[in-house]
Structure formats: C-alpha cells, structure tokens
C-alpha cells in the first residue's frame, strides 16, 4: 500500500474514532491487552530475531536493553493498556466555560488532533503505548518504528490492530508503515492534508531529521542530556544514592543522567566515593582536572573530559564529571549543554533549590530526587508517548491531555453581531 493511501485510511478512521463511545475505546484497550497476553510467545520469537540481528550488527548493550522484550516486559506493556483503559477520557472535557455580557455561553472543549504519526527508534513498547494513547484520545495513529525493531513492531501492531477491530473500532485507526526505507518516511512527512501531528521518539539526530523534512507540525520527544548538580549544601549520602540511580538504574533511557556537576566546596569530600561507586558499576568516566585533583591517587581509569563529552547523551555506562565554583556556574553549564529534559539539584539549602528551579530551563527540574522519575506513568498520567523537550504545545510527558487539542463551542439564543 502506498504511504498516501495508508494515511488517507487513517484520516477516514479518525472521524469515526473522534466520536467513539468511551466504553468502546476502553473495551478495545482491554482486548489489546488480552491479545498481547495470548500471543506473547509469537511476539517473543520475533523479538528474539531482532535481538539476534542487533547483536550481529554490534548494537551496544544499552540499545539491546531498549530493544529487548521478555515475559515480564510484555506483561508490563499489557498492564499499561489496562491502566489507560480506566483513566478518565479527556475527549469532550470542558476545560473552561463562561458567559459573555451579550449572553453567549462559551465552552473550551478537548478534542482529538485527528491523525498522529509517531516515529521512533529501537523501542518496541512505543508501538503499543502510542497506539493505546491515541485510541484513548480519539486519534488515529501511524506507527513508523526503527529498523532494529522491525519484526517486533510488526507483530505488535498486527496483534493490537486485530484486537481493536474485534472490539468495534475501525482497524485503520492503527496503521503500521511496513517499510524500513527512509524515503518512505520522508513521503509520510509531506502529507499535511492527512496527518495533523508528528511525534518523534528518539535521539537528537531523529529530531533534527524530522524538523528538517516534515511539512507536518512536530512535537519532539527527543534526547535527554541530563545533569545532577551536587550543591555545596548537599546531603552527600543522598547525592551519592541519587547519582548512582540517575546514571546506572537504566542507562539507555532519555532520563538517565549523563553529567555530574559538583560544587568545589564538597568536591574533595564527595568525588572519591562517587567515582569509586560508579567505577564499581562499570561506568566509564570523563573528568576535568579539578575532579582528578579531588579524587587524588587512584587506580581507577579517569579519562580527560572534552567539550564533546559534556555535549553527549551517552545512553550507556559513561558519564562526564565537572567541578564548578558556584550554583550559577552549574546553571550556566546546564543551559549550554542540556537538552531541556530533566535536571536535578541535591541541596539542603531552600534558597539554592529555588534559584536552581527558576534558573534551569527544562521540562522537569528535581530537588533531591533522581532524574529517572520523568515518566508519564510515574507522574500518575498513565503511559506516555514520550517526553516533550519543546514548549509548544506541550512540555514534559506527552500523556492523554497532551494528545488533544481544543475547540470553542459557543451557544446563543439567536444572537447576531
């Protein structure tokens, strides 16, 4: 099927989905979860082929981890569908309303976008999360996953599309692009009459590619060059625990910390211990001269940090470290190198936490907590398509409300102007 016809089908289906009864949509989500449980063995076979191919191609351990599905992860994906099914339906919600002096009743109402194209890399869970969130919000979805997860994405899309159709929704509301060819993606990005919104889920390179080629509006859920700043007033035990968690709990995701900034006043007391703890967890470290001096004599291999390292989203067991002279220098560093995703300060000083929260421009700012919490599910929003690092029209987790637009419904009694 040609890309334009696929998009036309999604557009026609979106008109049906926009007015679908919430009970029907929820029934479809539950049916999708049951289908994933029922066909898990088939899905895992396809995923194993993707994993084997990825290893042959030399994908990093972090990328293999993102690509991997197992029984536990599939159960988690299925359960997320059930969680979304019980969330309030945002479509039709009256955001606000008022009456004008002339007696017009004005209501601002949530409505679907229409057709959302989601372009993502080696994350097969996005196939299901994106489809589920779009169905809940009355949007058709076009899924274009990365080539490394092609088999996994294809079988997942097949399973959930069949379940949605059996539950009473138009099967065309979920469209999987059956091609690894990037020219097909470029063709898709030109279809502004059929597609209302494009959401990339991946790194900075994918974001830049879509911004360059898309004629359709883009909300980018892109990379995270995230930082942990240990202030001079930090609880150093908290700082150690948070740094280890932010870097190593799952290093291949966008909310993992990539750079550790440490105030010079606590460098000597903090850096030897955190460097040792990171090294024990196999983290490769790139450090400035002040960090090397603070650590002192050690058999741990410390590599010299460069501009490139501070600008890199490693997505693996690598981290850059820098000693800063002040909170202002930390904020300046984050402003220069950060991607506006998630940034953390560790401090017992309320004024320092306030200045950091006000001074750092990011989707999520943490005070004495790990950057790993930036997640729609953890925030209580249900699943999310990604974390928006831009400011229009949504920022942070792209969950249900962020996947709707609004319109004004104006009621009069024969009013004329």
- The pLDDT value recorded for residue 85 is 96
**416 within some domain:** no
CB atoms within 10 A of CB 395: 17
Residues 132 and 150 in one domain: yes
Q: What is the mean pLDDT of each run of 10 residues along the chain (417 residues)?
A: 93 97 98 98 98 94 89 95 94 97 97 97 92 97 95 98 97 95 94 96 85 93 90 98 97 94 98 98 98 96 97 94 98 97 98 98 97 92 84 90 96 96
pTM of full prediction above 0.95: no
- The pLDDT value recorded for residue 79 is 94
- The pLDDT value recorded for residue 205 is 85
- The pLDDT value recorded for residue 97 is 98
Report how far residue 165's alpha carbon sits from residue 144's, in angstroms, rounded to the nearest whole number: 20
Residues 364 and 391 in one domain: no
Residues 365 and 402 in one domain: no
Q: In this structure, what CATH number is given to the domain that contains residue 327?
A: 3.40.309.10
What total of structural domains would you count in the chain? 2
- The pLDDT value recorded for residue 380 is 84
Residues 53 and 146 in one domain: yes
284-287, strands of its sheet edge to edge: 302-304, 284-287, 318-324, 257-263, 226-230, 342-346, 364-367
Report how far residue 376's alpha carbon sits from residue 79's, in angstroms, rounded to the nearest whole number: 14
Residues 61 and 156 in one domain: yes
Residues 204 and 234 in one domain: no
Residues 67 and 137 in one domain: yes
Residues 148 and 244 in one domain: no
Residues 215 and 254 in one domain: no
Residues 274 and 206 in one domain: no
- The pLDDT value recorded for residue 61 is 84
Residues 116 and 195 in one domain: yes
**117 within some domain:** yes
Residue 211: domain span: 3-221+385-411
Q: Which residues contact 191 (CB under 8 A, 6 or more apart)?
A: 3, 4, 7, 215, 216
What SS3 string covers 66-126? HHCCCHHHHHHHHHHHHHHHCCCCCCCCEEEEEECCCCCEEEEEEEECCEEEEEECCCCHH
Place of tokens 């009694």: 413
Residues 262 and 181 in one domain: no
Instruction: Specify whether the CB–CB gap between 106 and 99 falls below 8 A.
Output: yes
Report how far residue 132's alpha carbon sits from residue 385's, in angstroms, rounded to the nearest whole number: 9
């Amino acid at each position: 099927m040609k890309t334009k016809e696929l998009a036309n089908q999604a557009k026609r289906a979106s008109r049906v989905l926009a007015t679908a009864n919430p009970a029907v949509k929820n029934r479809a989500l539950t049916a999708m979860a049951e289908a994933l449980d029922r066909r898990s063995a088939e899905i895992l076979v396809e995923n194993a082929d993707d994993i084997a191919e990825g290893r042959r191609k030399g994908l990093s351990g972090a990328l293999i981890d993102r690509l991997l599905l197992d029984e536990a992860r599939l159960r988690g994906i299925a359960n997320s569908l059930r969680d979304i099914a019980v969330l309030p339906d945002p479509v039709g919600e009256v955001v606000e309303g008022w009456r004008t002096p002339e007696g017009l009743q004005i209501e601002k109402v949530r409505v679907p976008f229409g057709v959302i194209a989601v372009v993502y890399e080696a994350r097969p869970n996005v196939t299901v999360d994106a489809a589920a969130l779009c169905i809940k919000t009355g949007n058709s979805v076009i899924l274009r996953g990365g080539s490394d997860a092609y088999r996994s994405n294809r079988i997942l899309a097949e399973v959930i599309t069949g379940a949605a159709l059996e539950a009473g929704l138009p099967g065309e509301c979920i469209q999987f692009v059956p091609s690894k060819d990037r020219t097909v993606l470029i063709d898709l990005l030109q279809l502004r009459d059929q597609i209302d919104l494009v959401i990339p889920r991946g790194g900075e390179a994918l974001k830049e590619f879509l911004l360059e080629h898309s004629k359709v509006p883009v909300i980018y859920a892109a990379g995270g060059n995230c930082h942990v700043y240990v202030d001079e007033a930090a609880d150093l035990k908290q700082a150690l625990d948070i740094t280890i968690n932010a870097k190593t709990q799952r290093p291949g995701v966008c909310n993992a910390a990539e750079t550790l900034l440490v105030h010079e006043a606590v460098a000597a007391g903090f850096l030897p211990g955190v460097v040792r703890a990171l090294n024990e967890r196999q983290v490769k470290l790139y450090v400035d001269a002040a960090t090397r001096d603070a650590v002192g004599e050690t058999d741990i291999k410390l590599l010299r940090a460069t501009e490139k390292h501070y600008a890199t989203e490693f997505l693996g067991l690598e981290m850059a470290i820098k000693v800063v002279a002040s909170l202002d220098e930390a904020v300046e560093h984050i402003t220069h190198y950060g991607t506006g995703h998630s940034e953390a300060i560790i401090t017992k000083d309320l004024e320092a936490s306030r200045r950091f929260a006000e001074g750092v421009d990011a989707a999520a700012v943490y005070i004495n907590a790990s950057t790993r919490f930036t997640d729609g599910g953890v925030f209580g929003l249900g699943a999310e398509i990604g974390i928006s690092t831009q400011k229009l029209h949504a920022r942070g987790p792209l969950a249900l409300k962020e996947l709707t637009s609004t319109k004004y419904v104006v009621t009069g009694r024969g009013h004329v102007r």
